[in-house]
Amino acid sequence: METIEKLDVTVLEPRMKHPTIFQWFDKLNGGEAFVIHNDHDPKPLYYQLLGERGNIFKWEYLLQGPEIWEVRISKLTPEEGETVGELVAKDYRKAQVFKKYGIDFCCNGKKSLKQACEEKGISQEQLEQELNAMPEKTAETSRGNEYDKWELGFLGDYIVNMHHSYVREAIPALYEYTTKVARVHGGRHPEVIEVAKHFVNVANELESHMPKEERVLFPFIKQMEEAKKNGVKLDRPAFGSIQNPINMMEMEHESAGGEMEAIRKLTNDFTLPADACATYRVMFSKLEEFENDLHRHIHLENNVLFPKALELEKEVLK
What is the spatial distance between Cα 268 and Cα 288, in angstroms, rounded to a whole number? Answer: 12
The contacts of residue 198 (CB under 8 Å, 6+ apart) are 259, 260, 262, 263, 266
Task: Name the 3-class secondary structure at 63.
Answer: strand
* pLDDT one-digit tens code per residue, 137-172: 544 444 556 787 889 999 999 999 999 999 999 999
Confidence grade of residue 312 (pLDDT, cut at 50, 70, 90): very high
Pairing of strands 57-64, 33-38: unpaired
Band of the pLDDT at 264, cuts 50, 70, 90? very high
Q: What is the pLDDT of residue 179?
A: 96
Burial (CB count within 10 angstroms: exposed 0-12, middle 13-18, buried 19+), residue 232:
exposed
CA distance 138 to 135: 9
pLDDT in tens, 170-203: 999 999 999 999 999 999 999 999 999 999 999 9
**Once rounded to an integer, what is the mean pLDDT over residues 299-308?**
92
Q: What is the per-residue pLDDT for 141? A: 46
Mean of the pLDDT values across residues 208-227?
A: 95
At CA 69, angle to CA 118 and CA 24, rounded to 5? 75
Mean pLDDT of all residues belonging to the chain: 88
Statement: residue 105 has pLDDT above 90: no
Residue 259 burial by CB count (10 A; 0-12/13-18/19+): exposed, middle or buried? buried
Greatest mean pLDDT among 30-34, 126-130, 164-168, 237-241: 164-168
What is the rounded distance in angstroms from the CA atom of residue 293 to the CA atom of residue 110?
A: 20
Distance CA 121, CA 216 (A): 40
Of 102-111, 246-255, 263-272, the range with the lowest mean pLDDT is 102-111
Residue 154, C-beta contacts closer than 8 angstroms, at least 6 positions apart? none
